[in-house]
Every structure is written in structure tokens, then in C-alpha cells.
A = this chain, B = another copy of it.
Amino acid sequence: MAIRTFLEAIRDTLGEEMRRDPSIIVLGEDVGVKGGVFLVTDGLHAEFGETRVIDTPLTESMIVGTSIGAAANGLRPVAEIQFADFIFPAFNQIVSEAARMRYRSNNAFGCPITIRAPYGGGVHGALYHSQSVEAFFTHVPGLKVIVPSTPYDAKGLLRSAIRDDDPVLFFEHKKMYRSVRGDVPDGEYTVPIGRAAVTRVGTRVTVVAYGLMAHYALEAAERVAEEGISVEVVDLRTLRPLDRETLLGSVRKTGKCLVVYEDNRFGGYGAEIAAIVAEEAFDYLDGPVMRVAGPDVPGVPYNHVLEDWFMVNPEKIAEGIRTLAAY
């Protein structure tokens, strides 16, 4: 057992998996000598050389497209998109190609690739270095989408992602890289894709969150606990496939559900969670399914005054819990 930052847990996993399986390569912009702009791949180039740790040209479609081809011919590429905001040039390759390779070929070909990307706001990144992009991908059959919130989960889920035979998007909240620490066991372990975690047990309101918001949800739960509101927190961890049992089990118990996400509210991932809960837990609900999410403006603005206005934070979540609990 060791204490690792969120970032270190990811870096460790990449190294360990690459040592285990020579078919794994890492590719992306600046992932080599520099070790990535956040230093997540730091040291890999020195250890595995430039054949397995490839500094690509500044071309995201190429990063994903060649990963698809390389996967067809026996490799297991782990691609890095420098910021989730810059994944859109690769959108066609991800959505039209990677996601459909197995289905369209009737299982003749698979696409075992992992695409890692730092996402999220609150770091003065403005419109193009702050985005949450998960909703564009959680909608796509054929993709798996993971958003871990702890070093333990990051390691166990990244290992599962790399070993998975289908394309996995792995989004890492950049604000958590160095600020979040936690226990990580020494040995090889995996966290299965598709299982949520109840990170706090409670009775009156279920708060569903993921990524940085899973931490903020816990903070908010702590605040309202002092006011006598018992909150259960479900950290989804995997957004697609969704763990319906854990989600619905919790809501059926508490009867109230608050969905929290950092992304723009309208049409964000949390809309699907709310829709599922509203449909499948209807008889258990004694309050509307509510949401606390980012406002519907085209991005997180830069100036700190505006950025603070945009970001979901523990207090906004606590307010949501209070409103719902009082319903």
C-alpha cells in the first residue's frame, strides 16, 4: 500500500502494463521526452524508447485513426489527447470508426484502444482547456467511457481499460492530478468496468456524481450532515456501460435523487441518469429528480470571476441537496 496522487496512479499503471504486455504502445502529442504537458507519461519514453512511446504530430484524427489500424494489426494503443477539448478533430474516427468496427464487421475485427484525455474546469483554462466532453461519447454504442475519481479507481480502471477488447475513453479531471491522493495497493488489481461505488452511505437523498464532482458531492454531504440530512453518494466511475443496479438500488432506498455534473446542463450525461431514474424508480420517488450542473454557456470563461460563476462547487451541491431534502 502506498499513497499516490491521482496522476501518479495513472503513470504507474501505464508503466506496469507496458512492462507486462509488449503490444502496448503510448502515443500522443508531447508524451515522449517531455512526458506530456501534465507529466502523466513522464519516464515512459526513457524506459520504453521511442518505438513504444511515440511523440506524434499535432493531429488528433491521426492519433486515433492510426490507433485503430494498429489495434487491428496486433497492438494495444493507449492514445493521449492532450486536452479533452482537442478531441473533436478526432470525433469522426472515434464515433464513426472505433465505436463501430466490431459491430459493422460482425465481430470480424475489434478495436482494443484506450484514449486518455484530461478534462474539466476550475484551472483557469477558459473555453478550450476546461471542457467536459463525456456526453458526446456516452451516447455512442460501441464506446466505453470511464471517469475515475480516486487514485485507486484510476489505477484499477485504467488497467481494465487497457485490457479491454473495445475502445475505451478514459477522462481524467486535470484539477485532481496533483490535488487528490489516496491509497493504492502494491499488487496488480483491476476495478471492473461498469460498476459504480457507493462512497458514502445515507438515507434521505442520493447524490449521483463522477470525477471531480464525486469529491464535491462528498464535501457537500458532509456539510449537510451537520444540518441533519443524511446523504448517500454514488460515484458512477464508469459512465458507459452504466451500473443501473447500484444507481437504482440507492434511489429506491432514499427516494430522492440529485444528479451532479460539471458539464453544461442541457443534454449532458446527467440527463440520461435523471431519465433512467425517473422511469425506473418512479414508484419510489418522493421528490423530483433534480440536477446541479454547469450553466448553458459555450464554455468556462477565463476571468476568475466568471469561472467561479460557472463551476459547480460543494456549496452549490449542498444547496441542491437542501432543496431536494426539503421537498
Complex Cα spacing A16 to B80, Å = 49
Task: Indicate how many identical chains form the complex.
Answer: 2
Asked if B104 contacts A95 (CB within 8 A), the reply is no
Interface residues of A in 291-310 (CB under 8 A from B): 291, 296-299
The secondary structure that dominates the A interface is: helix
- Quick one: which of B89, B139, B266, B277 contacts A141, CB cutoff 8 A? B266
Tell whether A270 is near chain B: CB-to-CB under 8 Å. yes
Asked if A104 contacts B91 (CB within 8 A), the reply is no
**Contacts A271-B275, A280-B288, A298-B99; is A264 near B127 (CB within 8 Å)?**
no
How many residues of chain A have a CB within 8 Å of chain B?
48
Tell whether A267 is near chain B: CB-to-CB under 8 Å. yes
Complex Cα spacing A271 to B91, Å = 22
- The 4 A-B pairs at the shortest CB distance, nearest first, are namely A278-B278, A139-B267, A282-B288, A274-B275
A-side interface residues toward B, CB under 8 Å? Answer: 85, 88-89, 91-92, 95-96, 99-100, 103-104, 127-128, 135-136, 138-142, 240, 242, 264, 266-272, 274-275, 277-280, 282-283, 285, 287-291, 296-299
Inter-chain pairs besides A274-B275, A274-B279, A279-B288, 16 sampled, C-beta below 8 Å: A88-B95, A89-B92, A99-B298, A103-B127, A135-B139, A139-B267, A267-B271, A270-B275, A271-B272, A271-B275, A272-B275, A277-B278, A278-B278, A278-B288, A279-B291, A282-B287
